[in-house]
Structure 1
Amino acid sequence: MSDGIDPTQAQWVKSSFSGPEGGQCIEWSPGYALTTGVILVRDSKFPKGPHLALTGEAFAGLVALARNTAG
């Protein structure tokens, strides 16, 4: 993907479902999504690790899956 925006400079937001101890949460970059239409998602425990670049449809599917499988 070559949109001219560096994802390493993205501002990340932790899931609102994240507890005070962090836990198994994801972060996403709403500013990057607004600028590019691509939703970046990463593991909050590994902020320097890889990220996923998702379409809006794929992100909605990920959220639906998480809601359906949450404890």
Structure 2
Amino acid sequence: MKKKLSATAAGIVLVAGMVFGGAAGAQAATWFGPFTDLSYCQAERRVFMQEGYSVGSCVHRAGQPGYWFSYS
């Protein structure tokens, strides 16, 4: 159930990004997170990669909780 909700949330973010981001948004990296567990972060990264995004590795961001990854 948690994976399905997470994948659904990622899909919503992807669609919103495509609709509102346009070509300019595709050039700038955006951060997605936080994830409490590294395995959840990596699973979401795979979803973004399958959608054709350039995706960075899961990292801890300074001053932010959990794991994050960047995509463009």
- The normalised TM-score by structure 1 is 0.27
Higher helix share: 2
Larger-gyration structure (1/2): 1
| Larger relative contact order (Cα-Cα within 8 Å, sequence gap ≥ 6) | 2
- The normalised TM-score by structure 2 is 0.27
